[in-house]
Amino acid sequence: MEQGAVEREPRTRARMPARAGFATPHGPRDRPAPPPRTGAAEPPPVPRQPAPRPQRHSVRGQVLAALRQALLGGELAPGEVYSAPALAERYGVSATPVREAMQQLAGEGAVEVVPNRGFRVCERSSRDLAELAEVRAMLEVPAIIRLARAVPPARWEELRPLAAEGVAAAARGDRVRYAEADHAFHHAVISLTGNRRLTEVADDLLRRAQWPASGGPRLRTAELLADASEHTALLDALISQEYAVVERIARDHLSVARHPH
C-alpha cells in the first residue's frame, strides 16, 4: 500500500445494520437519533441479570459423595482399576467431575492414579488401620480431655442428634450412612477446639481409617452398634463432667481400629 493511501472496505462486504443494545464498528453515529423527550418521567432501565452459570463444583461434589458411598459400600473393590469415562457413564455426567473427584480421593489415600488407565482402589491392611487408629488417639484423646473441662454441658447436649443418627444407622446395618454419621460426630467434637489445622488433620485421618481393608471381615451390625453407642456414652460422661470416664471412653474408642469395612 502506498504511503498516504487509506484502506477502504471492500465493496462486496455489506454493512450490517446496527442492532439495539450492541455497538457496531462505526459507532453510535449509525444509530437513529433518539426521539425528543416529552417531559414525562421515563421509568429507569431494568438491570439485566446475568445468566446463571452451570455449577460444576456442585456436580463434582455430588460425584464425590457417590464415589465415597461406592467405596465404603464395597461397590468399588480394593485392587480394581476404574476409568473416569466408565464411571462418568455410570453416574450420567462428563468425565471431568469424575477425574476431579478421583484426584481428591487420591489425596485422601482411597485410590491411586494409574497412568493411561484410570484409578486403582487402594488395598489396605489391618496394620494400616491399626497405625491410623494409633495416630488418631494421639491427637484426639488429649483434645477431648481438654475440651471436657472447657466446654459447658449444654454445648455437649447439642451433639446428641449426631450421636443418635449414628446409632440409628448402625442399628440398620447401614455401613455407608454410619461412616458419614461417625465422621460428622468426630468433626463436631474436634471443631470445638477452635483449631482449624487440628480439625483438618483429624478429618483426614478419619477418612483414611474408614476406607475398607483388603480381604478383611466386614463388621456385623452388633459391632457397628457397639461402636456407635460409645459416642452416646462419651456425651453422657462429658455432660455429667465425669472426667476419668471421659478419658477411658475416648481412649478405648479411638485406640481400636474398628471401622465399617
> Could you give the CA distance from residue 10 to residue 216 in angstroms, rounded to a whole number?
78
Give the pTM. Answer: 0.71
Closest CA to 227 of 203, 204, 201, 256: 256
Domains of the chain by start residue, with CATH: 57-121 (1.10.10.10), 126-254 (1.20.120.530)
**Tens of pLDDT, residues 137-161:** 999 999 999 999 999 999 999 999 9
List of residues 6+ apart from 140 with CB closer than 8 A: 186, 189, 190, 202, 250, 254
DSSP count for the chain of H helices, then E strands: 10, 3
Whether the pLDDT of residue 18 is over 80: the answer is no
End-to-end CA distance of the chain: 78
**Tens of pLDDT, residues 71-81:** 988 889 889 99
> Could you give the CA distance from residue 69 to residue 118 in angstroms, rounded to a whole number?
19
